Amino acid sequence: MAIITKDELAEKIEEIESHKGRHTEFISVYIPADYDVNAVQRQLEAEKSTAKNIKSTTTRNNVNDALDKIIRHLKTLKKTPENGLALFAGNVSKIEGQVDLQLWVIEPLLPLKIRMYRCDKDFVLEPLKTMLEVSEVFGLLVMDRKEATIGMLEGKRIEVLQKMTSGVPSKIRAGGQSSQRFHRITEGLTKDFYKRIAEEMKKLFFDMLKLKGIIIGGPIPTKDEFIDGEFMVTKLREKIIGRIDIGGSDESGLKELVEKSRDILAGQEIVKEKKILEKFFETLGEKPDLAYYKEKDVRKALEYGAVELLIISKDTDKKTTKELIELADAIDSKVEIVSTETTEGEQFNNLSGIGAILRFKIQ
């Protein structure tokens, strides 16, 4: 089974979400990446015993049938797929008394980190929906002289990656120590702490291909000392897109950092879209043989395998979008979906909403 594409996932979510259960009988199962599929199978077998307590015969039968359908599928797997697995099963018949038992099996875009079994009136789709929002990740750091928390923003989900403490003593110094000596000791420990933070940031983010930027928060002197002191390697220092004044240096500090960085994060996406469309319009003006905007020309270029980048406006109808993306995937073209929230995006949508930058000229 292949990992699903972003557009295929959006389509599946829409399809699954369209079904509503009459009673608590729709089964949703999430299996994390690297989790033992046999352990999940055993858990679901145990759930069948619990289902015997359901009073309604119809609901009990529907729950058991859905569990059986998922269990039978799990038995065909030797191991959990690379990104984990999401399974949904239930009787989706709209006619009372009739059975239309359906099973959806999805290997998601990104590794699943959640383990879940849920029996409800609706399928649980939130963990998959968040993946539609994720095209890149942002590194997060909140810090003061006492502690630091490193995290990652993936879509709307904040994940804590590392917590660290400095060991820097409080301002009340040990008896007999001069203030100058105490100051030297604390400054030395603080610099060592900054170096440890920088080293941990390097381990976590240096090779992260999807890392879009880094945001650092903390009290005014501390975060600035860390950033301006050039403790971080150049590659990561160049990724810093914001420094935010906040007081917290723990998990709640990460949440505050993200909240105060909304404008920065929104701006990053807009900047990316503007660059894509500027390149398209520039190519169209200077090398018109290498940029197409009429649908029939774009389709022809896709069929010739000539498209390097396919650009589609979010306002383009779903059927056309799906067809063009399938053609692009077949020839390993890059695909970008752009909004109409910028001047360039609106201009592009008014032009046709479909564009292609070519790898080579075609006749």
pLDDT in tens, 299-357: 999 999 999 999 999 899 989 998 999 899 889 898 888 888 778 889 999 999 999 99
CA 212 → CA 30, 136, 151, 206, 217, distances in Å?
A: 28, 6, 14, 12, 17
* pLDDT-based confidence at residue 176 (cuts at 50, 70, 90): low
CA 154 → CA 36, 65, 131, 160, distances in Å?
A: 25, 36, 8, 11
What is the sign of the dihedral through the CA atoms of 287, 315, 127 and 274?
A: positive
Gap between the Cα atoms of 363 and 348, Å rounded: 24
- Give me the pLDDT at residue 341, please: 76
Report, as an integer, the average pLDDT of 165-172: 73
pLDDT for 287 beyond 70: yes
Structure tokens belonging to residue 272: 């990316």
Q: Which domains does the chain have, with CATH numbers?
A: 6-132 (3.30.960.10), 137-260 (3.30.420.60), 269-358 (3.30.1330.30)
Cross-sheet strand order for the sheet of 101-106: 101-106, 85-91, 26-31, 116-120
Phi, psi of 309 (to 5 degrees): -135, 125
SS3 of 280-344: the string is HHHHHHHCHHHEECCHHHHHHHHHCCCEEEEEEECCCCHHHHHHHHHHHHHCCCEEEEECCCCHH
Gap between the Cα atoms of 308 and 293, Å rounded: 14
pLDDT in tens, 118-139: 999 999 999 998 888 756 789 9
Start-to-end CA distance of the chain, whole Å, equals 38
* pLDDT-based confidence at residue 6 (cuts at 50, 70, 90): confident
pLDDT for 289 beyond 80: yes
pLDDT in tens, 220-251: 889 999 999 989 999 999 999 999 999 889 99
- Give me the pLDDT at residue 94, please: 87
